[in-house]
Amino acid sequence: MAVITIVGAGMMGSALAFPARENGNEVRIVGTHLDREIIEGCLANNRHPKFDRDFPEGISFYQIEDLEKGLDGVDMVIGGVSSFGVDWFGDNVLPVIPENVTVLTVTKGLMDTEDGKLLTYPDLWKKKLDSMGKKLSLNAVGGPCTSYELVAHDQTQVAFCGDDLETLKYLKKLMETDYYHVSITTDVVGIESAVALKNGYALGVALTIGVNQKNFGDDTLHFNSQAGLFGQALKEMYRLLEFQGAATLDNLGVGIGDLYVTVYGGRTRLVGILLGKGLNIDEAKAELQGVTLESLVVAERVARAIRINIEKGTLKAEDFPVLLHIDDIICKKAPVDIPWDAFTFVK
């Protein structure tokens, strides 16, 4: 048995408490400064307010002021913050984690640089830790996994990535169950890039749903257009993983699985449908007031890096018609006009 502390009481971090506890580990959940009401609800009811199932018995809950207590004697920390909490996690949590403790983060995303590079969050955190003279084993999880389905024990396939296979085997042993299946790989760039890139492309596929609802009615299902854009998304994600220097393009499958599940549920689908129906980005955000839209941030960052590399001549605009159009919709309030002809090819 290990002691596992989850920092961040969001839906995904909290969902991982289920396989962690059901594997016989001692599990603690520490809320961030934004999670006070969630932790209060968990303390009162042993249930996350967004889930329809109680937590397994024996999980402890802490407010952020008790972070030190939550980390006492810990063997593994799961970072459960969203991409908007990356800097906060790096500044406030990583520095107080003992160096012998292994970290696994659920945060998906990429950060762009002024020279057009795309950095994974583990890379960003390593740079921050290096500046402190501190080392931690930083690992990440990616793959097609929605929190509420994990809580429901739906069969789930994910990948843990990190620098050391033995560490990853240890994390797999702690977390894997008969419904939570874990692959392991040292291709951090490949996994982290693939699962981040799917955000923008899931929004793109959802655009076609909104367009068809506007043209044919909300009750009409059209799959040709969704599939056509999905196929183009696969090609663009492939090119971006090559650009990122992924160790193996086999890990594209993790991102494509994540793309599939994101298209069929969640916040990214909602905003994409609204945009496809004709709302501009400000109107869509207003319609979904209070909903965190990480997909927009990731898409904008990746598109910004692509445009810089197009200017450098290292990438070609014609290879990324979907993502560049999504960027125009988000940043320039361009109307949805999916460039179908740009997807065709002659071989």
Average pLDDT of each block of 10 consecutive residues along the chain (347 residues)? 96 97 98 97 96 97 98 98 93 96 95 96 96 96 95 97 97 98 96 92 95 89 94 95 88 90 87 95 86 82 97 97 96 96 92
Q: How many CB atoms lie within 10 A of CB 178?
A: 9
CA angle at 176 for the pair 147 and 16, rounded to the nearest 5°: 30
Domain 196-343 CATH class label:
mainly alpha
Going by C-alpha positions, the residue among 42, 28, 107 that lies closest to residue 74 is 28
Tokens of 178: 């008969």
Structure confidence at residue 98 (pLDDT): 96
Give the start-to-end residue ranges of the domains of the chain: 3-186, 196-343
Phi then psi for residue 54, to 5 deg, are -65, 155
Fold of 3-186: Rossmann fold (3.40.50)
The number of residues making up the chain comes to 347
Q: Which amino acid is at 293?
A: L
* Residue recorded with tokens 């050391």: 164
For the entire predicted model, the pTM comes to 0.93
Catalytic-labelled residue, pool 108, 126, 198, 277: 198
198 is catalytic: yes
